[in-house]
Structure 1
Amino acid sequence: MIARIWCATATPEGADAYERHFAQSVLPALRGVAGHRGAYLLRRDGSHVEIQVVTLWESPDAIRDFAGPEITAAVVEPEARAVLIDYDRTVTHHTVVVTTAG
């Protein structure tokens, strides 16, 4: 399994808006991609909120079906860009070597 990790920052209000966008738009889209195995939205509050998205994939081909041919490019929809202060233009991929998930 591969973990795809992306980070952003937002105001508290922007982070709330991003959370809604993630739940209402991103998750339903991800569920429709073959090879998608789960997702986490992490939040660290402060004067600016740190956001981290971790999606799980069964293979690089599954990631390509979601992200396109350049799998290290971040997929950030205009609705998300509108509520973020800054965001990574690229993602990192990590091999999951141990998990407690079924």
Structure 2
Amino acid sequence: MIARSWRATATTAGAERYDLHFRTAVLPELRAVPGFLTAYLMRRARGATVDLHVLTLWESMAAVTAFAGGPPDTAVVEDAARAALLTFDERVRHYDTVAA
């Protein structure tokens, strides 16, 4: 199993907009991708900003590549997400899941 990790920052209002975008656009799209297992959106308030961390789990790197295209470490960040965020990773990190 492959874990795909991506981080961003937003204002409090931007984090709320991103949360809505994640639930209504990102999750439905991901659920239609073969090899997608699950996703987590995590947040941490830090004063006037919010750290966001998205972790998705995939059956294989082949499934990740089918979703992300090449190279697979390029972040997939739609315009609606970009508009809600202050900063975001242009690249994601992939991890082999060794225990659960």
**TM-score higher than 0.5:** yes
Amino acid in the other structure paired with 2:85: L
User: Do residues 24 (structure 1) and 18 (structure 2) align?
Assistant: no
- Which residue is equivalent to 2:58? 57
Unmatched tracts of structure 1, length 5 or more:
none
- SS state of the match for residue 45, structure 1? strand
CA distance in 1, matches of 2:16, 2:35: 28
User: Do residues 86 (structure 1) and 87 (structure 2) align?
Assistant: yes
Q: Could you tell me how far 1:98 is from its partner in structure 2?
A: 1.0
Amino acid in the other structure paired with 2:91: T
Q: Could you tell me how far 1:69 is from its partner in structure 2?
A: 1.7
Unmatched tracts of structure 2, length 5 or more:
none
Q: Percent identity?
A: 49
Structure richer in strand, relative to its length: 2
CA distance in 2, matches of 1:59, 1:20: 28
> Which deviations, in whole Å up to 9, do the C-alpha atoms of 1:51-81 show, x marking residues without a partner?
0000000111100111002100000000000
Q: Which runs of 4+ in 1 moved over 4 A?
A: none
Report the aligned-residue RMSD.
Answer: 0.5
Query: Normalised by the size of structure 2, how large is the TM-score?
Result: 0.97
Query: Normalised by the size of structure 1, how large is the TM-score?
Result: 0.95
Kindly tell me the number of residue pairs found equivalent between the two proteins: 99
**Residue pairs, 1:3-42, within 5 angstroms:** 3-42=3-42
Amino acid in the other structure paired with 1:94: Y
